[in-house]
Amino acid sequence: MKYLARRCALFVPTLLLVLCLVFLLVRLIPGDVVTLLLNDQNVSAQQAAEFRQKLGLNDPLPVQFVHYVADVARGDFGHSVFTGDSVWSDIVDRLPITAELALLAAFFTLLIGIPLGVLSAVYQDRPLDYGLRVTAIAGLSLPGFWLGTLAIAMPAVWWHYSPPLTYVSPFDNLGDNARQFLVPALIMSLYFACILMRMTRSAMLEVLRNDYVRTARAKGLSGRAVIQRHVIRNGLIPVITLFGTQVAVLLGGTVIFEQIFNLQGIGSYVFQAVSQRDYPAIQSVNILLALAVLIVNLAVDCSYVYLDPRTQE
Amino acid sequence: MQRPASHINHRLTRRRLLAGSAVTALGSAALLAGCGDDSSSGTSTPQASASQAAGTPRRGGTLRLPTIFASGGNFDVQKFVPAQYTAAVWRTCGNGLFTIDPKTGNPVGDLAESWSFPDPLTFVAKLKAGAKWHNKAPVNGRAVTAADVKFSLERIATNDPAFVRHSDYDLVDRFEAPDDQTVRIVLKKPYVPLVSALANQQAVIVPPEVIQKFGDLSSPDAIIGSGPFILDHADTTQGGAVKRNPDYWEKGGPYLDGIQWTIVNDPQTILSGFQAGNFDMYQVATIDLTSIKGLSGVGVVHYLAPNSFLQGLGGPIDKAPLSDIRVRQAINLAIDRKALGNVVYPGGDFQPAAVIANPAWGIPSDELLKQPGFRQPKDADIADAKKLVSAAGGNIELTISTTSSYPSFYLDRAQAYKAELEAVGFKVTLDTSDYTSFKSKETNKRFQVDTLSPAFATDPDALLSGAFGTDGARNYFSYSSKDFDDYIAKERAETDPEKRKQIVLDAQRLLLKDLPVAGFANWYVYSDMAIRDNVKGVQLGGIGPSGAQAGDQSFQAKNIWMAS
């Protein structure tokens, strides 16, 4: 419990650092939201400057930063400079889409990566192992955005089929929701599943060479029992660590897949916000993504307790 | 440039690779136009409109449209630059004082029954009898009055940068509503383009009660107008839908039960959605024409799509090396407009234009093709360009600013410019940045030359005064010419369309002589619209003063119908 509290306390400086970096980096890019808002309009430079003043964009950066942090501390994520809408309500509207996509992709990553990695290790240097390793390399080599584009384009050409183009909640229509999410989640998971499969294979092979595995076999335990009781559990520790770090990359990957599959989630929101220099939206989404990554990593650390009871000490 | 209509309205038997979809989409968000009423439009050129097969309109059906939500804020259509979809929803649910006739591209009365300039400084419009608001709270179907129009126009003209169309009314002294049916606009100076400004997508008339209730128009709940459709639902992430207004006050439509827009992030997804039967019509990108070809029950209408962009290669002429007219002349001579057109519209159906790319106002191609820099073959021009570079001192370094994002032809074009300028002796480097940075440099004149593509309202006054007037808000070129300013003052005061056109043409000829943009490079371009066979009544290709705006289907939603 003490450990958990200490880890949670570390969230605050981490989030502050993330906020500071995002705040500064986004402002280093030339151009601002006013340029876009007044794009190609008959507005003089003086009027544009007045507008910047009105939005507080002319304030010194430290002043803007302090204002923003104070607002966030109060739970106020501000309003989109571009739309005027509450950033928090924008995020709440889009979060279910991204969460579903990311969770499904994570689920498929684990579902595909770990069993195939185990199989590959168990059947080391046999045709199944070779086949799985070649498949994994191929999976790593094929860009997800290309597969995603094909998955949209080819069914439309061959069968005049496309998934629903507006979000359907699983509570409204589970079938349509599945048609919308399963394919992008599967494609998105492919890359990560291949990495995980290779990592699982290596970790398993390492464990298989340990003395205690040989001892277990010598005691007469069946091969299945040795794998299930002694190998998988020990082999999974580095795999789960890797999975934890991949979650951040996976969340970032939603940007591309939401664009291709027309899912109006957090990814497409932040993509648009960056293009439009919508500072409050960019900052808020990044804080939440950072928080999500921290929580996942905390969960990964906690899972060690189950996988390796020695860590309790 | 003009073609007989039979060459324009045709189906997939012709595989023309055209671009222009992006141009038209953006152009429809640009705006304005004009001069006078429908009968006195500023065009003397033949019309190039294309329409779906005739028939007896019937009621029923929902038109399904994709829309790219690339930009745009909330639903307050009178503020900022609205997304294509936001403006379309408003233009189907609401009316302006004027609208655009898609067949001709001319402004025509929407709420206005008749209008006139009784004197150069006064505009008077009489409202159509019977016009009424939607039967929803807080207006509950009451009559539309001149006071409503006055209120709306005063809001649009608010001197605040958020109301981006306010500069359209800079020359307005005041709006008046002397009685319920009469709107009077008193001007500070003669301003004939006012009618086009009033036909703008954003010039939607709204009831004051809605602003009082909601504070502004940002919420979809505030979409209450007097138009042929009533909002069903709308948001800025998924799309929206409108349904027929059962109490619509004007005869002849609407026929559709409703219109549905789906926001789509990616052009490929739009194509796939169309192939899968999820949409009824969409602007086909050149590259996708072959994919549409095999679809049964789908036609492609090929039509002239005027654009309202200023295109070319230019920069501030008060700084070296562009301050030397010989350098600008050399650039003008070196640019191969035909080759550049092939870069922007590969395999396309286009003709060179210079400043304004709407046949209603632009210099005709046959005249242009005799001008230095526009002639083919290029040998003589290139030889002259080399001499000019040498005479200007040689070893002239140019930095071309461009953007790698949105759309890709910015960068493609910059690379073509680079090769052409290096061929005559310039030393060229490319400065590539993302779109917002690129626009920032342009707006603040922090560039030497750039691949210009700013959009303007469709009336020629917007481009000429905005980009080249001494006080033009987007005069990135530091151009100042008394003769040119005089032309602007004259065309603004000229009510005779043909005389006004001549003034506009003379102004463009002066620009080609002074070269504030070193290399004007624009094109008259044809575009393509894929339409399912059961969708009828669609008109495309009006090339009148507001031609570029006429491409937006929201202006004609009332007349579109679906065969069974």
Q: Do A30 and B433 touch (CB under 8 A)?
A: yes
Give the angle subtended at the CA of A272 by the CAs of A268 and A278, to the nearest 5°: 130
Count other C-beta atoms under 10 Å from residue B269's C-beta: 25
Cβ atoms of A182 and A111 within 8 Å: the answer is no
Q: Token match 């403006």: residue?
A: B87
- Which residue of chain B comes nearest to A80, CA vs CA? B73
Distances (CA, A) of A249 to A13, A143, A291, A292, B41: 22, 14, 14, 12, 58
| Mean pLDDT, all residues of chain A | 87
Q: Is the pLDDT of residue B44 over 50?
A: no
Q: Pick the most confident of A58-67, A188-197, A218-227.
A: A188-197
Q: Do A31 and B439 touch (CB under 8 A)?
A: yes
Cβ contacts of A80 on chain B, cutoff 8 Å:
73
Residue type, B253: G
Q: Do A156 and B272 touch (CB under 8 A)?
A: yes
Give the range among A272-276, B70-74, B160-164 with minimum mean pLDDT: B70-74
pLDDT band with cut points at 50, 70 and 90 for residue A54: confident
Q: Do A83 and B81 touch (CB under 8 A)?
A: no
Please state, in angstroms and rounded to a whole number, the distance separating the CA atoms of residues B549 and B434: 27
Please state, in angstroms and rounded to a whole number, the distance separating the CA atoms of residues B357 and B452: 14
Three-state secondary-structure class, residue B36:
coil
Q: Do A30 and B239 touch (CB under 8 A)?
A: no
Residue of B558 and B44 predicted with greater confidence: B558
Cβ contacts of B434 on chain A, cutoff 8 Å:
29, 31, 275
Looking at residue B144, what is its pLDDT?
97
pLDDT band with cut points at 50, 70 and 90 for residue B6: very low
Cβ atoms of B300 and B528 within 8 Å: the answer is yes
Do β-strands B397-403 and B427-433 pair in parallel, antiparallel, or remain unpaired?
A: parallel
Nearest to A260 by CA among B358, B472, B266, B237: B266
Alpha-carbon torsion (B447, A80, A294, A241), positive or negative? negative
Looking at residue A171, what is its pLDDT?
93
Identify which of B265, B272, B466 has the shortest CB distance to residue A259.
Answer: B265
Query: What average pLDDT does the segment B330-356 reach?
Result: 90
Q: Do B164 and A41 touch (CB under 8 A)?
A: yes
Tokens in use for A292?
């999500």
Distances (CA, A) of B181 to B36, B100, B142: 20, 21, 14
Nearest to B307 by CA among B356, B365, B343: B356
Please state, in angstroms and rounded to a whole number, the distance separating the CA atoms of residues B160 and A268: 30
Looking at residue A37, what is its pLDDT?
75
Please state, in angstroms and rounded to a whole number, the distance separating the CA atoms of residues A258 and A252: 11
Q: Quote ipTM for the complex.
A: 0.78
- Which residue of chain B comes nearest to A269, CA vs CA? B237
Cβ atoms of B445 and B476 within 8 Å: the answer is yes
pLDDT tens-digit profile of A8-30?
Answer: 888 888 888 888 898 888 888 77
Three-state secondary-structure class, residue B200:
coil
> The whole model's pTM is what?
0.82
The C-alpha of A172 sits at a distance from chain B's nearest C-alpha, in angstroms, of: 16
Looking at residue B33, what is its pLDDT?
29
Give the angle subtended at the CA of B335 by the CAs of B329 and B336, to the nearest 5°: 140
Looking at residue B164, what is its pLDDT?
82
Looking at residue B384, what is its pLDDT?
96
Per DSSP, B429 falls in state E
Q: Is the pLDDT of residue A133 over 80?
A: yes
Cβ contacts of A162 on chain B, cutoff 8 Å:
269, 272-273, 275-276, 278
Nearest to B350 by CA among B337, B331, B336: B337
The C-alpha of B163 sits at a distance from chain A's nearest C-alpha, in angstroms, of: 9
Q: Do A30 and B71 touch (CB under 8 A)?
A: no
Identify which of B81, B239, B265 has the shortest CB distance to residue A39.
Answer: B81
Cβ contacts of B79 on chain A, cutoff 8 Å:
none
The C-alpha of A97 sits at a distance from chain B's nearest C-alpha, in angstroms, of: 12
Please state, in angstroms and rounded to a whole number, the distance separating the CA atoms of residues B127 and B113: 5
Q: Is the pLDDT of residue B27 over 70?
A: no
Cβ atoms of B72 and B79 within 8 Å: the answer is no
| Mean pLDDT, all residues of chain B | 85
- Tally C-beta pairs within 8 A across A and B: 141
The residues, any chain, with a CB within 8 Å of residue A283's CB and separated by 6 or more, are: A19, A22, A23, A26, A68
Query: What average pLDDT does the segment A245-271 reach?
Result: 86
pLDDT band with cut points at 50, 70 and 90 for residue A103: very high
Count other C-beta atoms under 10 Å from residue A47's C-beta: 21
Cβ contacts of B466 on chain A, cutoff 8 Å:
42
